[in-house]
Amino acid sequence: MEECVIMESRTLFYSSIEMIDKKELKELQLKRLRETVQILYDKNLYFGKKLRQAKVKPSDIIKLDDLSKIPFTTKDDLRVNYPTKLVNVGLDQVVRFHVSSGTTGDPTVVAYTESDIDRWSELNARCLAMMGVKRGDIIQIAYGYGLFTGGLGIHYGAERLGISIIPSSAGNTKRQIKLIRDMHATVLACTPSYALYIAETAIQEGLEPKKDLNLRVGVFGAEPWSESVRKRLIDQICPEPYDIYGLSELCGPGVAAECHYRNGLHVWADNFIPEIIDPKTGEVLEPGEEGELVFTTINKEAMPLLRYRTRDVSRMDFDTCSCGRTHPRILRIRGRSDDMMKIRGVNVFPSQIEYVLQRMDELGDQYQIVLTKLGPLDDLKVKVEVKPSAVSDKPWEMVGLKKRVEDEIRSVLNLNLEVDLVEPGSLPRSEGKAKRVLDLRGQA
């Protein structure tokens, strides 16, 4: 019953294309894919050569499955073509460059034409509308503005929807709280870890974030997060936190997002063709199987990318969602394949550890995974902050808590890990993407 009421009060759709017939969607994808391949084959020195080397001609793309004949694009392709060698239009047609710092090596540059910015804005407008954001809402955008795509991407979407924007950008947490409060912001866009930090800071200032702030919807992305974090976000800062996904290489935020059914993130398949591959062999996996997400952009001018490997690990669901959207869903990102740690032969993602930690009420929001070397083997230790409510005057009871966390991790990950309970406030906080893994393996 409540669900129906919520539905009626929502602007559910920004565009009718969100419910496009599946067959039509496939035809549109094929048409746009063929155009994209043709244009890169003809005009792009680098990709044209790559296609020729792989002996793929545009005329070989007859059906969507033929996509698998095309070679992958990786971050390295972007790096070696730094800064603008992959731009597929005249530089005078480029209206924007975004640059991602790249944690290792050269930065990567992504270019946009006017129409690229326009389409990007629409995708973000679709995402926001899908989350129930509508005219009359006030959104505070606490993603970084600038070279990073997060701030501007959401900004354009909000502008397109016609809602009021507070472009606070990242940082200055106390001012963020003051603005959310004074301006009665109803939507907060930032990383989920920063949202929790905002809540923590508000509580320290004597506020009750859920009562004193008027936030309804959270647009939380730029890092993978788990269902137990969702529960915390609901408990602490806003009743409707949604996941939004994107990659600067593809455009930035707005590639996919959750609808209010929250059963995966709808990928805007009229703009991107998603695939799941086996990261080792490169083979395309069956629907539902877990593997690396790969995207082909089929509606971009300045820098189309064929089969771009995201390193993000997920699964796809192609069934029509209860919300009526026909665009397929990527299930929650389990983590980046780069983040995957191999501990004593077991694959571990930080998000799995997070899932265990954040569903235990005695533990705080902050944790850190410390990678060390134990002889020739990698070892892993988890530090997690305790909540005041967990403190017992009997230390053996707290040792019991530590053991319970360790047992819980063992049952979920099948791995014996040491857990350290640490004081609240002792782990580093972040205003952008949280740094959850501390790698000390180099320091023996």
Partner 1 sequence: MAVTQISVFVENKPGRFAEISTRLERAKVKTLAFCIADAGDFGIIRLVVNRPELATKALKGFAESSIHVIATSITKKFSVSKIAVLLRSKKINIDYAYTSTKPIGGNPTLILRVDDIARTEKALKEKGAKVLVQEDLS
Interacting residues with partner 1 (CB under 8 A): 204, 385-396, 398-399, 420-426
**Which residues of this protein are in contact with Zn ion, per CB under 5 A?**
259, 261, 321, 323, 325
With CB cut-offs between 5 and 8 Å by kind, which of Zn ion, partner 1, none does residue 405 bind? Answer: none
Judged by beta carbon distances under 5 to 8 A according to partner kind, the member of Zn ion, partner 1, none in contact with residue 398 is partner 1
Q: Is the peptide bond before 279 cis (omega within 30 degrees of 0)?
A: no
Question: Which lies closer to partner 1 via its Cβ, residue 59 or residue 204?
Answer: 204
Q: What residues pair up with 437 in beta bridges, in sequence order?
A: 369
8 A C-beta contact, residue 287 and residue 294:
no
CA 175 remoteness from chain centre: 25
- State which residue, 66 or 379, has the beta carbon closest to partner 1: 379
Interacting partner of 321 out of partner 1, Zn ion, none (Cβ under 5 to 8 A depending on kind): Zn ion
Q: How far is the CB of 420 from partner 1 (least distance, A)?
A: 6
- Least distance (Å) between residue 373 CB and partner 1: 20
Q: Which is nearer to Zn ion, 13 or 261 (CB)?
A: 261
Residues contacting residue 355 through CB under 8 Å, at least 6 positions apart: 226, 227, 228, 412
Report the residue number, 288 or 425, with the smaller CB distance to partner 1.
425
Report what 259 binds from Zn ion, partner 1, none; CB cut-off 5-8 Å by kind.
Answer: Zn ion
- Written as one letter, the residue type at 337 is S
82-97 burial, b at 16+ Cβ within 10 Å, e below that, comes to eeeebbbbeeebbeeb
Nearest approach in angstroms of CB 364 to partner 1 is 8
| Residue whose CB is less far from partner 1, 342 or 404 | 404
**Could you say which of partner 1, Zn ion, none residue 393 binds, taking C-beta under 5 to 8 angstroms by partner kind?**
partner 1
Q: Report, in Å, the least distance between residue 281 CB and Zn ion.
A: 32
List 341's β-bridge partners, or say none: 348
Provide the minimum distance between the beta carbon of 402 and partner 1 in the complex, in angstroms, as a whole number.
8
Which of 235, 206, 241 is CA-nearest to residue 221?
241
Residue 240 CA to chain centroid, in angstroms? 17
| CB contact set of 67 (below 8 Å; sequence gap of 6+) | 33, 61, 273, 275, 296, 307
Q: What is residue 370's three-state secondary structure?
A: strand
In whole angstroms, how close is the CB of 232 to partner 1 at the nearest point? 17
Binds 123, which of partner 1, Zn ion, none (CB < 5 to 8 A, cut-off by type)?
A: none
